Structure 1
Amino acid sequence: MDIAFALYPGMTLLDMTGPHEVLAHVPGVDCHYIAARTGPLACDTGFQVTATAAFADVPRPDVIVVPGSGEFARVLEDETELVDWLAAAHPSATWTTSVCTGSTLLAKAGILTGRAATTHWGARDLLGELGAEVSTDRVVVDGDVITAAGVSAGIDMGLTLAARLWGEETARAIQLFIEYAPEPPFTPVGAEDAGPEMVEALDRILSGA
């Protein structure tokens, strides 16, 4: 089984490595790390990853995984080669998936038109403008497309995908293997519960103010 992880400058590392850790250990899986061109590229935190193949080298993967980015507005404008590859590769893929704002790239490729999909809470309006039926769920399955909400939801997406590829027993075994049993130090807060003060504090932290 060929799983293509689409890489691009400014992507969010955990969006890729979360589902990768879930999927890559299963026998028979071949992971491909593809981008517009091979070589190193910097994530949105500066961490570097390496693309080992170009989009043209992997035209028909079985599974597509598209990470998001904290720079998603710029990425939508810049990553035209990725969008074109998604539009071409999706029809033959068994599953097309995204994490966080990666769903906006799927939407720009025309894959989410009229489909239910989720994304990071900060990109919901944009996702709707691009033609998707926006959901606030953590993971959304619509036909042969699976989308996940922000960053850490990529692990949930990977397990959801694993259950559909190999059955629930295998997915549960993978969950045990990666010891995925979240106990966050603070009460989980969604965008609907955060309140304007927390959102403003987040903006200040991210802007360095």
Structure 2
Amino acid sequence: MISTRTVGILLFNDVEVLDFAGPFEVFSLAESDKGHKHFNVITIAEQQAPIYARNGLTVIPDYSFANQPNINILVIPGGYGAEKVEINNPVVTDWIISQVKLTELTLSVCTGALLLAKAGLLAGKSATTHWMDLENLASYPNIEVIANTRFVDASDKTTNLVTSAGISAGIHASLYCVEKLIDSQTMQTTARRMEFDIS
């Protein structure tokens, strides 16, 4: 019997839409050749109230920090809300720290990397983010910032950690995570279904 991992996607006001919707689509579509879903994808916010994403999209999170189930993979999207608002919210950064300790893999998209940096989770690691925010990421101590790349896998013996560049790069990074966690065939099948060019 194939086990199903739970993917928890963090939401907050002014989150970039494709930052969370891209990974949502990738992990939701990944399945075995017999149709078994490899991932159950849920959304989590500090409060279980409507989230107002960038450019007016309203999203209702599945869970709050208070009632969420255990998750295996954490996805931290970016956007204005990450870099300007939640970066100053210790409730969110403390939650991220607690989840990273428990999860099998953490993926940040775009400026979601800044939340990881603020939480001290990128110290001593390599990472990337949206090209417009590379200098911002580099302002945090002891991070090797990688430019001109779609994603960076900074996993080590204690933590599986992947950061991606901006917006659509989160789809590419999510597919990479599917390959890392499942296998190459599943990743390729998912990419083909989405008509996403992984070359």
Taking structure 2 as the reference length, what is the TM-score of the superposition? 0.86
Which of the residues 164, 173, 179 maps onto 1:163? 179
Partner in structure 2 of residue 205 of structure 1: none
Kept in 2, the 8 Å contact 1:55–1:82? The answer is no
The counterpart of 2:104, out of the listed 94, 98, 104, is: 94
Q: CA deviation at 1:56?
A: 3.1
Q: State the partner residue of 1:44.
A: 54
Match of 1:8 in 2: 12
- Where does the alignment leave 5 or more consecutive residues of structure 2 unmatched? 31-36
Task: Tell me if the contact between 1:10 and 1:44 (Cα under 8 Å) persists in the aligned partners.
Answer: yes
Shift of 1:59: 6.4
1:21-43: per-residue Cα shift (whole Å, max 9, x none)?
11112314222210010021111
Distance 1:65 1:109 in 2: 15
> 2:144 is matched with which residue: 107, 123, 133?
133
Letter in 1 for 2:7: I
Match of 1:154 in 2: 170
Deviation at 1:51, TM superposition (A): 1.0
- In the TM superposition, 1:40-189 aligns within 5 A as 40-58=50-68, 60-131=70-141, 132-136=143-147, 137-143=149-155, 144-181=160-197
Contact kept? 2:176, 2:187, Cα under 8 Å:
yes
Counterpart AA for 2:6: D
Equivalenced residues, count: 183
Q: CA RMSD in A?
A: 1.8
* Secondary structure in 1 matching 2:54: coil
| Structure-2 separation of matches of 1:77 and 1:28 | 32
Q: Distance in 2 between matches of 1:172 and 1:33?
A: 25
Distance 1:71 1:91 in 2: 24
Percent identity at matched positions?
A: 31
Q: Counterpart of 1:58 in 2: which secondary structure?
A: coil
Q: Residues 157-204 of structure 1, C-alpha deviation per residue, up to 9 Å, x if partnerless?
A: 11100001110111000011111138xxxxxxxxxxxxxxxxxxxxxx
Aligned to 1:30: 40
Alignment deviations for residues 122-146 of structure 1 (CA, whole Å, 9 cap, x no partner): 1111111223211112110011101
- Paired with 1:16 and 1:36, the residues of 2 have a C-alpha distance of 16
Provide the TM-score with structure 1 as the length reference.
0.82
Asked whether the equivalents of residues 68 and 99 of structure 1 are also in contact (C-alpha less than 8 Å), the reply is yes
- Is this contact kept in 2: 1:99–1:154, CA < 8 A? yes
Contact kept, 8 Å, 2:46 with 2:65, in 1: the verdict is yes
> Secondary structure at 2:135's aligned position in 1?
helix
Identify, as 1 or 2, the structure richer in helix: 1
Larger radius of gyration: 1
